[in-house]
Amino acid sequence: MSQVNKKTINIRGRLLDLSGPVVMGILNITPDSFFAQSRVQSAEEIVDKAGEMLQEGALILDIGGYSTRPGAREIEPAEESERVAAALEVLTRHFPEALFSADTFRAMVARQAVYSGAHMINDVAGGNLDPDMFDTVADLQVPYVLMHMRGTPATMNKLTHYDQLIPDILKDLQQKVDILRQKGVTDLIIDPGFGFAKTIAQNFELLAGLSEFKRLGYPVLAGLSRKTTIYKTLNTTAEHALNGTTVLNTLALERGASILRVHDVKPAVEAVKLWTATTRYLNKIVI
């Protein structure tokens, strides 16, 4: 396992300290993302939603132009790239000091997004769906979120057999970390991929063992917001899964998550503040 213990990433020419948790807001430039209220398309909607998230305390905004929910419509790379680039052009003009991530598994889209103002790449496929992605990230020299997934968004739900869930995922991610480091990529963030090629039970096992992913030596991102694991367990819908999201986000913080990727920024920021305030006293307690 990696001997690295990285707590900062170089983003936009400055060191971002991830020794304390931060919040990444989700901005879906799509008509079909699974949570309808996260969808924004017009320039006015994009600016309004981004401004709200930044005001509520999001440190990074994650811009996605392709829905990865099961059964989502396939779109061509050019259409995805156009969506993301157009959004970034508006966002960087209105919020020149903000930090933006491009949520894409396509190297061409990633490159254009960075040219259009993105500061990092969030790849749900962990390089599996585009053989050029690792070289592209190395060439761009931007932080990279390496996520675990099997198959494609259309097939991932059939690829949930693991010999040992967490060791298998750790092995896959470690192999990719080694490749990326050999290519000169040092600013990495690890995402174990909640909901991607995992059953509901496996997602809870993954959350229970989230601290294991810190062994890879890089900050860990938890993307649990309003997912099936929450709303099916509670027998509700994504629209009514905010309270469940906050509960699981807090458990993720307890297990070492450095970034919470969320649809609802304010509740996540409040969870971080309360968790941080509590942990200051943990080492002072004498039993």
- Ordered DSSP codes for 41-68: -SHHHHHHHHHHHHHHT-SEEEEESS--
Q: What is the distance of C-alpha 4 from the center of its chain?
A: 21
Angle, CA 204 vertex, CA 38 and CA 39 arms, to 5°:
5
Return the closest-CA partner of residue 94 out of 136, 155, 45, 135.
45
DSSP code at position 219: -
Angle, CA 259 vertex, CA 227 and CA 237 arms, to 5°:
15
Measure the CA–CA gap between 172 and 276, rounded to whole angstroms: 31
Angle, CA 155 vertex, CA 158 and CA 233 arms, to 5°:
55
By the 10 Å C-beta count (0-12 exposed, 13-18 middle, 19+ buried), 108 is classed as middle
What backbone phi and psi angles, to 5 degrees, belong to 62?
Answer: -105, 115
**Catalytic positions, please?**
227, 261
Q: Residue 122 in 3-state DSSP?
A: strand
Q: Residue 264 in 3-state DSSP?
A: coil
